[in-house]
Homo-oligomer: A and B are copies of this chain.
Amino acid sequence: MKSYNHYCTVAKALDAVGDRWTLLIIRELVSQGPCRYTDLMSGLPGIATNLLADRLAFLEESGIVWREPVPPPVAATLYHLTDAGEDLKPVLDALGTWGVRFMSKSHETDQFRSHWFKRPVSMFLKDRAPDGPPVSIQLSPEDYPAVIEASRDGIRTRPGRVESPDLELAGPPHLILATLSGRLSVKEAKATGLTLTGRVALLNRLRRDRAEASVANAVGA
């Protein structure tokens, strides 16, 4: 993209990461850690392969990403964030916080990936009984399942499945999120098409209310 040529911090930041797709590439590297080219492709549905190559070259040149050549037999390149790249996390946090308002309605054609659950889930949940027994919640959208695990160490969300979860939420991603956030009651969620199996009461232990959520967000938690 052409520079804005504004001597202004915001404009300079956008000169570096304001191109289409660029911040989503950073999102992938932040939420997935170091990625191969194909990992990025599958985490960025819709991107053209030449664009991904272009953006990665520009990000490397800008000192935001560095590439680690992994020698055979693995034979791949790993893309990492530099320190300057890691410093973009607050930008993603701010954008993600602001973007929560659009998550209530999901378009039919929207793509989804397991690791995209991490950000909103960490905003919506908080363990009200951290010394209670550890629990796991299986999130099952059509594909791309994820697991929420709460223990003394806090709440973690990761892609994948767990053997016998304490609770499972199966259905479209936006219903899963609406139920976790408390925007939908369990009754409403079931009526709209979510399947809840197991200890539904767990939601009361983990749901953070709206006021707390905005506070946590204000301090960048």
Contact = CB atoms under 8 A, between A and B. Distances in A.
Interface of A: 1, 3-16, 18, 20, 23-24, 27, 45-46, 84, 87-88, 90-103, 106-107, 109-113, 116, 119-120, 173-174, 218-220
Nearest to A100: B9
B7 A99 contact: no
A18 B120 CA distance: 20
A98 B13 contact: yes
Q: For A88, A91, A101, which residue has the most chain B Cβ atoms within 10 angstroms? A: A91
A96 B11 CA distance: 8
Given A13-B95, A24-B14, A91-B94, A116 B7 contact: yes
B9 A97 contact: yes
Top 9 A-B pairs, shortest CB-CB distance: A13-B99, A9-B99, A12-B102, A9-B96, A7-B110, A13-B95, A94-B94, A90-B94, A12-B99
Q: For A5, A95, A174, A218, which residue has the most chain B Cβ atoms within 10 angstroms? A: A95
A1 B20 contact: yes
A93 B13 CA distance: 11
24 contacts: A5-B45, A5-B107, A5-B109, A6-B110, A7-B116, A7-B173, A8-B116, A8-B119, A9-B95, A9-B96, A9-B120, A10-B23, A10-B24, A10-B95, A11-B27, A12-B103, A18-B20, A18-B23, A84-B101, A87-B98, A90-B97, A91-B94, A94-B95, A220-B220
